[in-house]
Amino acid sequence: MALFRRRKEPSLPRPRPASASALRRERRALRRLRDQRLRDLGGLMLELYRRAAFREDLVAEQCAQLVGIDDRLATIEAALHRGSGERRCACGTPILRGAHFCPSCGRGVAPLRPQVTGEETVIQAPDS
């Protein structure tokens, strides 16, 4: 009989990867925020122009926030499209299976070709 038992230290739960729907919601919210920040930056620039008092620190702060939002959006896009295996047009629109043209821009889409990954094996009959 053991008088002292070792207690197992509680472990921190491992962070689960975000679901695709959660990433899409975050992407949508970040796009709205980015649009708002771009409008704010334009308004700030106009106001600074009107007052003839350019404040580089204000502009740099707004731009830094926009760059941060763009970085997070790029990370989300990469996470959503990693391993999806879906084809995309040059404009970025997903191409549906069997489509001959992009549904967004109308560009022609090359048909899928099966990829040859190995060598062909050729069996020859022996000469008699």
Q: Is 107 helix (H, G, I), strand (E, B) or coil?
A: coil
Tell me, yes or no, whether 9 lies in a domain. no
60 inside domain = yes
In a domain, 8, yes or no: no
pTM of the model: 0.53
Q: Confidence band (pLDDT; 50, 70, 90) for 93?
A: confident
Domain coverage including residue 57: 20-81
Report pLDDT for 23. Answer: 85
- The answer to the question of residue 43 being in a domain is yes
Tell whether 48 is covered by a domain: yes
Given its phi and psi angles, is residue 120 left (phi above 0), alpha (psi -120 to 50 degrees) or beta?
Answer: beta
Q: How far is CA 62 from the centre of its chain?
A: 23
DSSP SS3 for 29 = helix
pLDDT reported for residue 114: 53
Is the confidence at residue 1, as pLDDT, over 60? no
73 vs 103 pLDDT, higher one: 73
Question: Rounded to whole angstroms, how far apart are CA atoms 105 and 121?
Answer: 43
pLDDT digits (tens, 9 = 90+) for 18-45: 677 888 899 999 999 999 999 999 999 9
For all residues of the chain together, what is the average pLDDT? 79
Contact 1, 26 (CB under 8 A): no
93 occurs within a structural domain:
no
pLDDT at residue number 32: 95
Q: How many structural domains compose the chain?
A: 1
CB 86 within 8 A of CB 109: no
Q: Return the percentage of the chain with pLDDT > 90, whole number.
A: 33
pLDDT above 70 covers a percentage of the chain that reads 68
